[in-house]
Amino acid sequence: MSDLNTFLFNVFLFSIIINTGLSLYGVFVRPSLIKKVIALTIFSDSANVLAIAVGYRGWPSPDKPPVPPVVTVSEPTPSELLRFLDVAVDPLPQALVLTAIVIGLAVTLFLVFLTLQIYRLYGTTDMRKVARLKG
Amino acid sequence: MRIRKILPLLSLSILILTLSLAFTSGALGYYFPLPGVRMLASWYLYTTLNPQFPEFSAMSPEAVTAIVWDYRGLDTLFETAVFFLAIVGALALMRGISLKSVVENNTATVEVEGNGLSPIVKTASRPLTPLIIAVSASIALHGHLTPGGGFQGGSAAAVAPLLLLVIFSVYFLVKRGISEKPMLVLRTVGLLGIYVTAFLAVIAGLVLGVNAYVFQNQPKFDAPVGVPAYVFNTLLSGTLFLFNLFEYLAVAGGFTLVFILLSIPEEIARSVLGGEEYE
């Protein structure tokens, strides 16, 4: 069973890598600015999913049913904290992804506005045509 | 010419192969998923709420929000600054373009009731909008205890005006007071609140003459100031609650502002932008 899990997780990781490559291809090669923005969001989302996967952990005892990793008292004893430590996932990637999502969304919004403005001024979002225009 | 087509494909294939090689040779650890958490994570999890070690503990009930506010507060502050600057940039690009003239000249008032989608969608979305606001407020105000927080709540709250924008029209929102100016004010109030919350404990410490830290959440053993953990038997867990509240306001206001700006009709934008050229 654990072999199957490891195999599935490797498939998952490989799909994220392929996703990263494809989205970077979109950013570099596709001429349309809209498609560049879409590819950029796919890239940042793949990076975020990868970061969450880094913080993931397996359930320590597969035979027992899982319980939510929460501390239910406001003054926990050391043994309660150690039991919590056995089941909780890494909080650091989650916090970093939280920050990355906010920044990614803000940057995407700015890029969308920039693209809209370029379209209004030049009548095209094709990067090759925009680069050739003057003024 | 051909090399310009081959080069991106080649470099991306090399990237994919290198990343695959790195992951299969143990860049994320040899066992995947990992059987336990890393040392740093166990340190965070063990000391986030630990009354036995008050000198190390952040005294915060939830680990992710503790990292966002207690351990890495500067990250959060500059992330808010990036959000602020991106919306300022969007506003600067759209300067001068406003719906105000259209609404004041009464050209659109006749169409307000007729605009938008069918009456079925409108009737269904009327009770839905307060529910979205309520759920988003619950996400934001429980952010210090459960997954979620100010940003998630604010994004969920901004869905409600977006829904109204699509189903009714942008004039429907503007006529009910949800226009650019109030949203700008809401966002600015939220951001100011976040910055004041960051320095709240320091200000209190200066007034009382005791030791205090920037981004301090709850009273620590050498810095006895801070918002108490329990207020009227409700777990507030310090300044995190205020941070979530203000972040909620800032994000909801900012996104609503951006959605309204994006939905301004093309003719109005062009008439402001191009001057005589487009007429």
pLDDT tens per residue, range B64-81: 878 888 888 888 888 888
Q: What are phi and psi of B174, to 5 degrees?
A: -65, -35
pLDDT, residue B279, reads 45
- Measured between beta carbons, which residues in chain A are less than 8 angstroms from residue B35? 57-58, 60
DSSP B215: T
pLDDT, residue B229, reads 66
Closest residue of chain B to A50, computed from CA coordinates: B28
User: Is the Cβ–Cβ distance between A37 and B56 less than 8 Å?
Assistant: no
Interface ipTM: 0.79
In the structure encoding, which two tokens stand for residue B255, read together? 């996104």
Tell me the Ramachandran region of residue B232: left when phi exceeds 0, alpha when psi lies from -120 to 50, beta otherwise: left
- Give residue-wise pLDDT tens across range B99-138: 766 666 655 554 555 677 888 888 888 899 999 999 999 9
In the beta sheet, which residues pair with residue B34? A57
Q: Is the dihedral of CA A95, A100, A105, A109 positive or negative?
A: positive
- Measured between beta carbons, which residues in chain B are less than 8 angstroms from residue A81? 45-46, 49-50
* Cβ pair B45:A6 closer than 8 A: no
Contacts of A134 (CB under 8 A, 6+ apart): none
Per-chain mean pLDDT for chain B:
81
pLDDT, residue B107, reads 56
- What residues 167-196 of chain B have any CB closer than 8 A to a CB of chain A? none
* Cβ pair A113:B23 closer than 8 A: no
- CB nearest to A60's CB, from B15, B35, B87: B35
pLDDT, residue B276, reads 53
CA distance B273 to B94: 9
Residue B59 pLDDT > 90: no
Q: What is the pLDDT along chain A (135 residues), one digit of tens a residue?
A: 567 877 888 888 889 999 999 999 999 888 999 999 999 999 999 999 999 888 888 777 777 777 777 777 777 888 888 888 888 888 888 888 888 888 888 889 899 999 988 888 888 888 888 888 775
Closest residue of chain A to B53, computed from CA coordinates: A78
Contacts of A85 (CB under 8 A, 6+ apart): B37, B42, B45, B46
- Measured between beta carbons, which residues in chain A are less than 8 angstroms from residue B23? 10, 13-14, 17
Q: What are phi and psi of B234, to 5 degrees?
A: -110, 130
- CB nearest to B8's CB, from A28, A102, A117: A28
Position A104: which residue type? G
Closest residue of chain A to B258, computed from CA coordinates: A109
* Cβ pair B66:A74 closer than 8 A: no
Q: What is the pTM of this model?
A: 0.82
Pairs of residues, one from chain A and one from chain B, whose beta carbons lie less than 8 Å apart: 149
| Distance in Å, alpha carbon of A8 to nearest chain B alpha carbon | 10
DSSP sequence for B58-102: ---S-HHHHIIIIISHHHHHHHHHHHHHHHHHHHHHTTT--SHHH
Contacts of B156 (CB under 8 A, 6+ apart): B132, B135, B136, B139
Residue B35 pLDDT > 80: no
**From the centroid of its chain, how far is CA B251?**
4
Angle, helices B239-262 vs B73-93, to 10°: value is 20
Residue A133 burial (C-beta neighbours within 10 Å; 0-12, 13-18, 19+) = exposed
* Cβ pair B76:A99 closer than 8 A: yes
3-state SS assignment for residue B112: helix
User: Is the Cβ–Cβ distance between B147 and B64 less than 8 Å?
Assistant: yes
- CB nearest to A120's CB, from B85, B89, B270: B270
Give the CA distances from residue B134 to residues A52, B137, B151, B153, B161, in Å, rounded to whole numbers and listed in that order: 28, 5, 15, 10, 13
- Measured between beta carbons, which residues in chain A are less than 8 angstroms from residue B63? 88, 91
User: Pick the residue with more confidence: B52 or B115?
Assistant: B52
CA distance B79 to A12: 29
Which alpha helices (H) appear in B142-179, and where do they start and end?
A: 150-167, 170-175
- CB nearest to A91's CB, from B64, B93, B258: B64
pLDDT, residue A37, reads 95
> What is the maximum alpha-carbon separation in chain A?
70
Q: Which segment of A84-93, B24-33, B35-44, B228-237 scores lowest on mean pLDDT?
A: B228-237
Closest residue of chain A to B151, computed from CA coordinates: A102
* Cβ pair A102:B75 closer than 8 A: no
**B17 and A CB contact within 8 Å:** no
* Cβ pair A91:B45 closer than 8 A: yes
pLDDT, residue B112, reads 58
- Give residue-wise pLDDT tens across range B225-271: 777 666 676 677 778 888 889 989 998 998 898 888 888 877 777 77
- Measured between beta carbons, which residues in chain A are less than 8 angstroms from residue B31? 6
DSSP A125: -
Residue B93 exposure: Cα atoms within 13 Å on the Cβ side: 21
